[in-house]
Structure 1
Amino acid sequence: MAINQYILPAEWHRQSCVQLTWPHEETDWLPYLDDITETFVQIAKAVAQYESLVIAAKYPERVRELLEDSLSDDEMSRVSIVECDNNDTWARDHAFITLVPVLDNDTKAAASDASGAEAGQAPCRLLDFRFNGWGEKFAADKDNLINSTLYNKGVFHGERVDYDDFVLEGGSIESDGRGTILTTSVCLMAPHRNQPMTREQVEQTLLERLCARKIVWFDHGQLIGDDTDGHIDTIVRLCPNNTLLYVGCDDESDPQFADLKALELQLQKATDADGNPYRLLKLPMPDAIYDEDDRLPATYANFLILNGAVIVPTYNQDANDARALELVAEAFPGYDIIGIDSCTIVRQHGSIHCLTMQYPEEVCR
């Protein structure tokens, strides 16, 4: 089958499933395990209403019992639970990054006239980059093996590509499905990632391995308390119709004000691979949330796109939550918008998108 190239699809590309990696008492969630487990149940139920869900779990039977108490039979029929040990639960960063094949016009026409196996496309490419705990900050040996474990158990279908020679987390990149990748220099050039590679060498690696045409770098926007060194999915998100939802700050007394203003200026000048500017929608900054004296990186940008729905983090802040949900709805017309309280998630410095990874059609069957 002739293939011009592969492409990293946009998150709103039709999906086959979403992955969660479940918390347990041997993870950092122990002090509030009951609360985070309830949040995971809510996320699982929301996902299973729209598509299949794959759960990597150290204790699969416990998870099954929990979900059977909260999900309908129809929802449970879409859930697969696979035994898999884990250090932590941030599937966005340890899961596969998946490329889909792009067919040339002649092959598309032939496939549309064919049936059965003859119409099947080339396999997706499951890119297995190294996860090293966000620059060796945290243990990641078990998390870095989750992809091979799930793949070897037949959970995911496609061609597994071993890129263990390069550190890349799913939360550090955003794709529009047309060859443009967004990322941040503060993350990809942070210590203990891919040194001594230069920014130019990192960019060339991304272009080649993600089959991209342009890398758009942002140099600002790292939220206070962010362990990831500035993942793009906490500050700027790609949406349909060349729209960007991004985190803004209007409070000049906020220590993040100047940096987020600098990010906004970069966004105003940014263009995609075809030279088109972006339509910008500014999300509110949640009122500061603290764990004792430490500010937590609460953000509305860390939402998950599903088939026909978007799950958005909320923080028990009525006005800010409502405005964020309104803006996400504006960016995703026709989608159901679902808010899920993320106050417990952010205690471990992440949110809903960080906990999940979507897979395009043909990967989960």
Structure 2
Amino acid sequence: MFPKEQGYFFPAEWHPHIATWITFPHNDHSWQEEKLGQMYPEYFALIKAISQGEQVRINVNSEELKAFVESQLPVYGIDSAKIEFNIQPTNDAWCRDHGPAFLVKEGCSDRLLVDWEYNAWGGKYPPFSDDNALPQTIASRLQLDFVSPGIIMEGGSVDFNGASTVLTSRSCLLNPNRNPHLTQDQIEAYLCHYYGVSQVLWVSDGIVGDDTDGHIDDTVRFVNANTVIAMVEPNEQDENHAVLAANLAELKQMTLLDGSPLQIVEIPMPDAVVIDGFRAPGSYANFYICNAAVLVPIFDCPQDSVALAILRKLFTDRPVIGLSAREIIWGQGSFHCLTQQEPAPCV
């Protein structure tokens, strides 16, 4: 039986967490050695903020890396009791995409882990075999059952409202570098069977600088069961203007399972984040909802305060905190890309 048939589903990110999983970065594709040191203060600030309300479970590549992280916890004022380590070979830092997907079941203490295949966004950054192996090793560590659908899927390519709807993008999931043997209808079937949803909503594309081929977590995010924030670019001369306008037009035509229209709140993009001549995919949509707060990447521009004010009106059950991501974004991802929540059982 598929997970959906057993009553399992992927909960919304605001569902209570037991922990957040991250994969600690080392000298890999995403940050050259000198950039790695520059982004550590932002990275540890992220860990500290998450740890205020839940455990942070860190995949570390080696005993040496574990010792380094432990040495830095007091430097950044992080309570070591809130940190756990999983020593396991890793390739890269983007746990949202290579980490496990945890499913829950109403009225039940059981959880189930989905072990999707992972190919580093269409084979762009080999090797990726260690990252692809992580979900099964985490299932073993936590003594959880897992299912392996056998197709490529990344956590950043999907966003959930916790009420049987998932958002995704054609540019990513229909890209021939992922699952060229599958049609859109077949991919929708996998999403429904293994994430426990009944409705798949599609937008067209992603933003400039996003090497994932258009992950949804840089453009459109659920903030409650019937409301999304949609990134927009008011400057018509900007490369992101047309694609985000097209996505917005598509969102306005969407209805939810009960037939009601999708509620849409627009947020302006930050100023272009250009580092060493490269435009990084800076976006306020890459926030992470943890138990203690909504953690929003900010980029030292006027739109930061606008985005935070909008999100504070939408999230009234926990603080909305802006944290600098100007160094992290050089790796072409931000807070949501780096994290994967482990939800509490639905009991």
Bin of the TM-score, shorter chain as denominator length? over 0.9
- 2:53 equivalent in structure 1: 50
Say if 2:312 is the partner of 1:324. Answer: no
The 1:82/1:27 distance shift into structure 2, 3 A limit, reads farther
- 1:81 equivalent in structure 2: 85
Alpha-carbon separation, structure 2, partners of 1:352 and 1:243:
21
- 2:327 equivalent in structure 1: 344
- 1:106 equivalent in structure 2: none
- 2:162 equivalent in structure 1: 177
Q: Give me the identity figure in percent.
A: 32
Counterpart contact for 1:13–1:360, Cα < 8 Å = yes
Corresponding residue pairs, total: 337
Alpha-carbon separation, structure 1, partners of 2:106 and 2:257:
17
What letter corresponds to residue 149 of structure 1 in structure 2? T
Q: Secondary structure at the match of 1:47?
A: helix
1:198-242 superposed Cα distances (whole Å, 9 cap, x missing partner): 11111111111112111111113x111111000011100001252
Counterpart contact for 1:123–1:159, Cα < 8 Å = no
The 1:210/1:223 distance shift into structure 2, 3 A limit, reads same
Alpha-carbon separation, structure 1, partners of 2:29 and 2:236:
37
- 2:111 equivalent in structure 1: 124
What letter corresponds to residue 229 of structure 1 in structure 2? D
Superposition RMSD in Å: 1.7
Counterpart contact for 1:157–1:362, Cα < 8 Å = no
The 1:346/1:87 distance shift into structure 2, 3 A limit, reads same
Alpha-carbon separation, structure 2, partners of 1:60 and 1:346:
23
The 1:157/1:174 distance shift into structure 2, 3 A limit, reads farther
What letter corresponds to residue 70 of structure 1 in structure 2? Y
The Cα of 1:89 is off from its aligned counterpart by 0.1
What letter corresponds to residue 162 of structure 1 in structure 2? S
Alpha-carbon separation, structure 2, partners of 1:308 and 1:46:
7
Query: In structure 2, which of residues 13, 27, 46 is the aligned counterpart of residue 25 of structure 1?
Result: 27
Query: In structure 1, which of residues 141, 145, 148 is the aligned counterpart of residue 133 of structure 2?
Result: 145
Counterpart contact for 1:9–1:176, Cα < 8 Å = yes
The Cα of 1:267 is off from its aligned counterpart by 1.1
Counterpart contact for 2:220–2:231, Cα < 8 Å = yes
Alpha-carbon separation, structure 1, partners of 2:89 and 2:172:
27
What letter corresponds to residue 315 of structure 1 in structure 2? F
Q: Secondary structure at the match of 1:353?
A: helix
5+ residue gaps, structure 1: 104-120
The Cα of 1:102 is off from its aligned counterpart by 2.6
1:41-88 superposed Cα distances (whole Å, 9 cap, x missing partner): 11110011111110011221111111133235xx32111022122111
Q: Secondary structure at the match of 1:264?
A: helix
- 1:111 equivalent in structure 2: none
Counterpart contact for 2:168–2:201, Cα < 8 Å = yes
Counterpart contact for 1:308–1:334, Cα < 8 Å = no
The Cα of 1:4 is off from its aligned counterpart by 6.1
Q: Secondary structure at the match of 2:249?
A: helix
What letter corresponds to residue 204 of structure 1 in structure 2? A
Q: Secondary structure at the match of 1:298?
A: coil
Counterpart contact for 2:209–2:279, Cα < 8 Å = yes
- 1:39 equivalent in structure 2: 42
| 1:146-225 correspondence runs (5 A) | 146-152=134-140, 154=141, 156-163=142-149, 165-220=150-205, 222-225=206-209
The Cα of 1:244 is off from its aligned counterpart by 0.6
Alpha-carbon separation, structure 1, partners of 2:77 and 2:223:
30
Counterpart contact for 2:100–2:115, Cα < 8 Å = yes
Query: In structure 1, which of residues 334, 354, 359 is the aligned counterpart of residue 317 of structure 2?
Result: 334
| 1:60-71 correspondence runs (5 A) | 60-71=66-77
Query: What is the TM-score with the length of structure 2 in the denominator?
Result: 0.93
Which sits farther off after the overlay, 191-200 or 25-34? Answer: 25-34
The Cα of 1:362 is off from its aligned counterpart by 4.3
5+ residue gaps, structure 2: none
Alpha-carbon separation, structure 1, partners of 2:54 and 2:22:
13
Q: Secondary structure at the match of 2:248?
A: helix
| 1:300-319 correspondence runs (5 A) | 300-317=284-301, 319=302
1:264-319 superposed Cα distances (whole Å, 9 cap, x missing partner): 111111122222212211111111121333321110000000114100000011x2
Q: Secondary structure at the match of 2:151?
A: strand
Query: What is the TM-score with the length of structure 1 in the denominator?
Result: 0.88
The 1:28/1:264 distance shift into structure 2, 3 A limit, reads closer
What letter corresponds to residue 22 of structure 1 in structure 2? F
The 1:129/1:4 distance shift into structure 2, 3 A limit, reads closer
1:98-154 superposed Cα distances (whole Å, 9 cap, x missing partner): 111134xxxxxxxxxxxxxxxxx25211001011000111121111112223333x2
Q: Secondary structure at the match of 1:245?
A: strand
Counterpart contact for 1:9–1:99, Cα < 8 Å = yes
Q: Secondary structure at the match of 1:328?
A: helix
The Cα of 1:338 is off from its aligned counterpart by 1.3
Alpha-carbon separation, structure 2, partners of 1:299 and 1:286:
6
Query: In structure 2, which of residues 266, 277, 301 is the aligned counterpart of residue 282 of structure 1?
Result: 266
